[in-house]
Amino acid sequence: MADLQVPVLIVGGGGCGLSASLFLSNLGVDHLLVERHTDTSHLPKAHYLNQRTMEVFRQHGLAEAIYAVGTPPENFGKVRWRTSLGGDGPLDARTFHTMDSFGAGELYERYAHDGPSPSSNYPQLRLEPLIRQHAEQRGPGRVRFNHELVELEQDADGVTATVRDRASEAPFTVRAQYVIAADGGKTIGEMLGVEMHGPTGLLDMVSTHFTADLSAWADDSCLISWFVNPDGAGSWGSGALVPMGPTWGAASEEWVVHFTFGPDDPARFDEHAIVPRLRELFKLPELDITVHKVSHWILEGVLADRYQVGRVFLAGDSAHRHPPTTGLGLNTAIQDAHNLAWKLAAVVSGAAGPTLLDSYESERQAIGMRNVDWAMFTFLNHMLIDAGIGLMPGQSAEANRATFEAFFADTPMGATRRARADEVIRTQRTEFQAHDLEIGFRYERGALVPDGTEPPPSDPMGGVYHPTTRPGHRLPHAWLEQDGTRLSTHDLTELSRFVLLTGPDGEAWAAAAAIAEEKFGVPVRVVCVGDGFTDPEGTWARVREVSDAGAILVRPDNHVAFRAPAAVDNATDVLVDAFSTVLGH
């Protein structure tokens, strides 16, 4: 007999595991989270929270808490490439390029048009305690730090885990129906023979978290400053500077700088050299710097060969690890947990068959692969930027200095060099303006009913988003009104509820939804736009892609499960079949 029985065991208390706990609590699923560390991360780690992630947090009641403390849009709307922060030399404090970024700045209106929740910025060392607080409030006693997974065994009916309380050293057993492996790939994947495929050991990334007053030199609207100077010889070699708050903009008290070293370079472990290097990088020789933490992590781009092993599901860094460019790591992890949580809730409650859970791998592994590839591409593209500026690998500092002098020269050739650099650096919008990549992704296989249509055009640079109600895609956002209340189409599903969107001529679909709800025991909300709900801006009419007699079935995670472009003769049979397919009955 196990000491504790829960439907779901979560292993790992980082951003992914804590989000999974929060989501499951909100869905009414009992669970236990165990994390071997005593507290959340003390490292800045990820910071950008993209629009899709903020939509997820909006659905689960966390978005406003993040907006209240996160970076305001006016403080993260730019990225820039600089030679240094300060200094009085002819090549010091010079700007190569400035770009709008991350749905802020000049991008804000476009992002606001396409989603109810703007993106945000809040570093992981502050975000994780916030999620933990909400997870503990909603699942009292179910989030246990300083508890370590020791063993894991599966059988036909469930999973038995041995967990050790690291404070008392006392072990206990947990019996669960399912396990979420959100342990960063440190334990469970290896236990189960999961292989990570892709390049690894490429570079040693060194991140330095420090306190310093940079308000006299930093840009108030800039989120990332990339340094390119003769001595550092390139974007990643010179470093990237990011404010960490808690005050935002140039007045930020804390900062992080990321460098790269070769994996066999002994200098990467010389932490005594960090402060002099920062002062030299910034060209601020008298700057007072307090270093909090120097962390090392190996650059890789790897994907798990399986996301599911029996009753165990891999999520977050357990399933995919890649460079930080485009900010895809934590965002993908939170979206993994969101995809999995509603499915676990449906299966545990009996509303869905266990085969619904098979769709987690078929849906999320393809997204994981795409994001690993994109992050690797955008990371390596910084080397193209160096070439666009005129830097050559292996060049001496003297040669680099001559290149910079020619770049900034007030001559026709200097103007040409700067124009070339502008064109090349603009290709890095694949990292900083990846709007379509962030909200336009789709599931081709899984808990959905394909309708045989082709997806809308995909921007190869990842920026231009085309809303669509094609099954597998995120439901397009549109503002509707009901009795004077303004709400997004995304607000209609709530948590565990499906929504069926119809028009004024969709009475047959509404009747069919009532029958499907009774048959499968899943809540279905019928929304008739044109009867009770209005479309004041006409946005829904432009993006719905079905007639007034058609219907769109939306899953609890706001992805389209099924659509009918027009009326059918047997709406009940069609909709019941769709639910049966989606729910795995």
pLDDT tens track for 421-455: 999 999 999 999 999 999 999 999 999 999 999 99
What percentage of the chain carries pLDDT values higher than 90?
A: 86
Q: What is the distance, to the nearest Å, from the Cα of residue 515 to the centroid of all Cα atoms in its chain?
A: 37
| Shared fold status for 4-71+121-198+303-374 and 448-583 | no
Amino acid letter, 93: A
Host H or E run for residue 67: helix 63-69
- At 395 the pLDDT is 81
Note the pLDDT of residue 297: 79
Query: Does an H or E element contain 533, and which?
Result: none
Q: Give pLDDT tens digits for 103-153.
A: 998 999 999 999 999 999 999 999 999 999 999 999 999 999 999 999 999
Q: What would the CATH number be for the domain defined by 448-583?
A: 3.40.30.120
Q: 5 burial class (0-12, 13-18, 19+ CB within 10 angstroms)?
A: middle
Q: Where in the chain are the domains?
A: 4-71+121-198+303-374, 448-583
Q: In this predicted structure, what is the pLDDT of residue 274?
A: 83
pLDDT at 36: 97
| Count of C-beta atoms within a 10 Å radius of residue 99 | 21
Question: If DSSP codes are grouped into helix, strand and coil, which group holds residue 183?
Answer: coil
Examine residue 246 and say whether the peptide bond preceding it is cis (omega within 30 degrees of 0). Answer: yes
- Tell me which architecture the domain covering 4-71+121-198+303-374 has in CATH: 3-Layer(bba) Sandwich (3.50)
Measured CA to CA, the distance from residue 56 to residue 63 in angstroms comes to: 8
Distance CA 304, CA 189 (A): 9
CA distances from 279 to 94, 214, 275 (A): 17, 11, 6
Describe the crossing of helices 15-26 and 328-349 by its angle, rounded to 10 degrees.
30
Distances (CA, A) of 545 to 112, 248, 308, 453: 21, 42, 34, 11
3-state secondary structure (DSSP) of residue 234: coil
Q: What is the pTM of this model?
A: 0.96
Query: How many other β-carbons are positioned within 10 Å of the β-carbon of residue 460?
Result: 9
Inter-residue contact 88 to 153 (CB < 8 Å): no
H/E stretch holding 292 = strand 290-298
Structure tokens at 62: 């966390």
Return the percent helix, strand and coil in the chain, to nearest 5.
40, 25, 40
- pLDDT for position 262: 59
**CA pair distance 155, 310, nearest whole angstrom:** 9
Report yes or no: 578 and 447 within 8 Å, Cβ to Cβ: no
Give me the count of residues in the chain: 585
- Reading the block at residue 189, the tokens are 């994947």
pLDDT value for 260: 75
Could you tell me if 38 and 148 are in contact, meaning their C-beta atoms sit under 8 angstroms apart?
Answer: no
Kind and range of the H or E run holding 104:
none
pLDDT of residue 239: 83
pLDDT computed for residue 536 by the predictor? 95
- Low-confidence stretches of the chain (pLDDT < 70) are 1, 232-238, 261-271
Report the SS3 class of residue 74. helix
- Give the helix ranges, DSSP H, for 119-173: 124-138
Query: CB neighbours (10 Å) of residue 557?
Result: 23
Cβ atoms 582, 449 nearer than 8 A: yes
Helices 15-26, 124-138: axis angle to 10 degrees equals 30
User: How distant, in Å, are the alpha carbons of 113, 477, 488 from that of 484?
Assistant: 20, 18, 13
Q: Which two tokens stand for residue 530?
A: 């044109």
